[in-house]
């Protein structure tokens, strides 16, 4: 296997009697854009929560270089250069857009550089004119964009994006995807959970598929599109053509 | 005559004005899509119709009578259903309980039963899961439940705010099939979608909003084919 940024081995998590993640394994290639797909309720978001310390795994390993992330706290994982966005956004509702961006200052971003960087990223996501607006007043789509921009403030090595396209206008989405490619060209690793298949099929080099808490398939987008198990579990037969 | 008409509507959240003179109409039996960039005022348009945000000016007429000053439950009672963004269901209640709540304005038990049977016929999966807690269902099933709950009042018209948000491709296909089936059955539909190309495919007409103002309007297929609309709002993608 080539250079691996994140090696997930037999990860498990149960909530009460529900085995949300039930032996999930996959290896995210370094410096590439990868996708994680699967039906609603298949365990994708729980997997993200396990990778970022939001939820503690019952069993399994998450190897980032020689470090096992399993059991580490979110801020410890963040300091290792890993950042994420959330499906349901986590912006600070009573802070302004710019304050949200600068909230990561002190977490490794120097104060002087931070403001310029924040303005640059806000321009990227078309939020410049709203920089003085409270986070809680933004629409859902705008909160997604703010969170995306904020996630890039620390210049992370590994970026986990949970449904970045959901609620985002398609033209703006193209700009975000262009930016994600520029990050990848600079050597960053990106893992995207997404239901928008144009994002997965056109932008990911490797795709992992989850169903009922386990990885059922992985491969190139073209291979995944033809995989009978994936078609049954996820695409539905109409998309087979 | 239009079933729903907005004329020059201004609306605000607190001190911040979001809508600046938005006008649109939906004729009986039509499917109308509202699209536009993030922050265009699409969700706010629905909320001002329902009486959920402050209307500063303009007229809103449903079925020949003004909706101005009406409380949300009164709007609902007049036959206008609303499914907000983000699969808002009561997670610690069962499917059947969620549906019953949808009919809370209806006193006649027999009518509630008929409405529930209709919802179950439309969404057989909800019938299978009627005693299951809503929070334990998948995202696609919760979206079905949110729509089913709005149908319990047997509305003449429904407003759907990003119904496909966060749903897997298979569920998105099913969802759009369901919307088309409801429309064929006589329900008038207005929907907001960031999956705008998909929405315009099933829509009779569409409106493009930008920064709280009307920008374009036209037949769904004309908007889909319009080079500027494609470039500005549909990601510039080739025709599917």
- Can you give the pLDDT at residue A1? 45
Q: Do A173 and B235 touch (CB under 8 A)?
A: yes
Measure CB to CB from residue A87 to each of B39, B137, B166 and give the nearest one.
Answer: B166
Reported residue count of chain B is 240
Residue B20 — very low, low, confident or very high, per pLDDT cuts 50/70/90? very high
Question: What percentage of chain B exceeds 90 in pLDDT?
Answer: 78
More confident residue, A154 or B7: B7
List all residues 6 or more positions away from A156 whose beta carbon is below 8 Å from its beta carbon. A81, A82, A83, A188
Query: A96, A132, A143, A171: best mutation site toward chain B, by most B Cβ within 10 Å?
Result: A171
Query: A14, A38, A40: best mutation site toward chain B, by most B Cβ within 10 Å?
Result: A40
Q: List, for chain A, all residue ranges whose pLDDT scores fall below the cut of 50.
A: 1, 240-241
Measured in degrees and rounded to the nearest 5, phi and psi for residue B31 equal -110, 120
- CB atoms under 10 Å from CB of B122, counted, come to 17
Residue B158 and residue B189 in contact, taking contact as beta carbons nearer than 8 Å: yes
**What are the sequence ranges of the domains in chain A?**
1-81+157-165+188-241, 87-155
Structural domains of chain B, with CATH: 4-233 (3.40.50.300)
Question: Residues B208-234: what's their mean pLDDT?
Answer: 93
Q: Is the pLDDT of residue B166 over 90?
A: no
Q: How near does any CA of chain A get to the CA of B41, in Å? A: 9
Question: Residues B65-81: what's their mean pLDDT?
Answer: 94
Quick one: closest CA in A to B231, which residue?
A: A171
- Can you give the pLDDT at residue A238? 67
> What's the pLDDT tens digit per position in B97-156?
999 999 988 889 999 999 999 999 999 989 999 999 998 888 888 999 999 999 999 999
Q: How near does any CA of chain B get to the CA of A109, in Å? A: 28
Q: How near does any CA of chain B get to the CA of A136, in Å? A: 11
- Can you give the pLDDT at residue B236? 72
- Can you give the pLDDT at residue B136? 81
Q: Is the pLDDT of residue B90 over 70?
A: yes
- Can you give the pLDDT at residue A17? 81
Q: Which long-range contacts (CB under 8 A, 24 or more apart) does B140-145 make?
A: B140/A39, B140/A40, B140/B167, B140/B168, B140/B170, B140/B171, B140/B174, B140/B175, B141/A40, B142/B87, B142/B89, B143/B87, B143/B167, B143/B171, B143/B175, B144/B175, B144/B178, B145/B89, B145/B95, B145/B98, B145/B99
Query: B145, B235, B236: best mutation site toward chain A, by most A Cβ within 10 Å?
Result: B235
Contacts of A130 in chain B (CB under 8 A): 39
- Can you give the pLDDT at residue A233? 83
Q: How near does any CA of chain A get to the CA of B237, in Å? A: 9
CATH class of A1-81+157-165+188-241: alpha beta
Q: Do B140 and A138 touch (CB under 8 A)?
A: no
Residue B238 — very low, low, confident or very high, per pLDDT cuts 50/70/90? very low
User: Is 0.95 topped by the overall pTM?
Assistant: no
- Can you give the pLDDT at residue A90? 85
Residue B44 — very low, low, confident or very high, per pLDDT cuts 50/70/90? very high
| B6-45 residues touching A, CB cutoff 8 A | 13-14, 16, 36-39, 43
More confident residue, B55 or A15: B55
ipTM value, please give it.
Answer: 0.73
- Can you give the pLDDT at residue A109? 63
Measure CB to CB from residue B194 to each of A167, A174, A239 and give the nearest one.
Answer: A167
Judge residue B213's burial from the number of C-beta atoms within 10 Å of its C-beta, 0-12 exposed, 13-18 middle, 19 or more buried.
Answer: middle
- Can you give the pLDDT at residue B239? 44
Number of CB pairs, chain A paired with chain B, less than 8 A apart = 99
Q: How near does any CA of chain A get to the CA of B108, in Å? A: 36
Q: Is the pLDDT of residue B170 over 50?
A: yes
The sign of the CA dihedral B50, A196, B201, A143 is positive
Measure CB to CB from residue A171 to each of B136, B171, B236 and give the nearest one.
Answer: B236
Residue B148 and residue B182 in contact, taking contact as beta carbons nearer than 8 Å: no
Residue whose token pair is 């503690």: A56
Contacts of A133 in chain B (CB under 8 A): 16
Measure CB to CB from residue A40 to each of B171, B235, B236 and give the nearest one.
Answer: B171
- Can you give the pLDDT at residue A241? 39
Q: What is the mean pLDDT of chain B?
A: 92
Contacts of A18 in chain B (CB under 8 A): 136
């Amino acid at each position: 296997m080539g250079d691996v940024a994140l090696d997930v081995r037999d990860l498990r998590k149960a909530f009460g009697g529900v085995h949300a993640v039930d032996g999930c394994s996959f290896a995210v290639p370094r410096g590439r854009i990868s996708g994680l797909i699967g039906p609603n309720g298949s365990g994708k978001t729980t997997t993200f929560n396990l990778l970022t310390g939001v939820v503690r795994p019952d069993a399994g390993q998450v190897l980032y270089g020689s470090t096992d992330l399993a059991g580490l706290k979110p801020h410890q994982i963040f300091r290792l250069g890993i950042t994420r966005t959330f499906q349901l956004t986590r912006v600070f509702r009573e802070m302004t857009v710019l304050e949200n961006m600068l909230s990561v200052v002190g977490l490794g971003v120097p104060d002087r550089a931070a403001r310029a960087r924040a303005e640059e990223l806000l321009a990227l996501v078309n939020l410049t004119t709203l920089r003085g607006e409270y986070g809680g007043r933004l629409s859902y789509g705008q909160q997604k964009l703010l969170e995306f921009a904020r996630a890039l403030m620390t210049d992370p090595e590994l970026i986990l994006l949970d449904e970045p396209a959901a609620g985002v206008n398609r033209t703006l989405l193209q700009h975000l995807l262009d930016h994600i490619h520029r990050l990848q060209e600079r050597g960053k690793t990106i893992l995207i959970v997404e239901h928008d298949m144009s994002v997965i099929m056109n932008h990911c080099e490797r795709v992992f598929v989850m169903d009922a808490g386990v990885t059922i398939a992985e491969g190139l987008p073209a291979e995944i599109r033809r995989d009978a198990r994936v078609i049954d579990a996820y695409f539905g037969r109409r998309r087979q053509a | 005559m239009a079933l729903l008409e907005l004329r020059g509507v201004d609306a605000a959240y607190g001190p911040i004005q979001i809508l600046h003179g938005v006008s649109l109409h939906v004729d009986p039996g039509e499917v109308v899509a509202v699209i536009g960039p993030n922050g265009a005022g699409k969700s706010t348009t629905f909320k001002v119709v329902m009486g959920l945000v402050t209307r500063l000016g303009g007229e809103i007429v449903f079925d020949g009578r003004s909706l101005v000053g009406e409380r949300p439950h009164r709007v609902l009672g007049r036959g206008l259903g609303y499914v907000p963004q983000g699969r808002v269901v009561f997670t610690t209640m069962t499917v059947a309980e969620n549906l019953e709540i949808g009919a809370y304005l209806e006193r006649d038990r027999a009518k509630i039963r008929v409405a529930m049977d209709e919802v179950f016929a439309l969404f057989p999966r909800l019938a299978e899961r009627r005693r299951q807690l809503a929070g334990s269902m998948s995202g696609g099933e919760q979206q079905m439940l949110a729509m089913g709950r709005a149908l319990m009042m047997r509305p003449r018209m429904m407003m759907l705010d990003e119904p496909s948000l966060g749903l897997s491709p298979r569920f998105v296909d099913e969802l759009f099939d369901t919307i088309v089936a409801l429309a064929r059955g006589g329900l008038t539909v207005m929907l907001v979608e960031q999956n705008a190309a998909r929405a315009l495919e099933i829509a009779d007409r569409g409106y493009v909003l930008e920064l709280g103002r009307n920008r374009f309007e036209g037949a769904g297929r004309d908007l889909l084919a319009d080079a500027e609309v494609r470039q500005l709002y549909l990601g510039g993608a080739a025709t599917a």
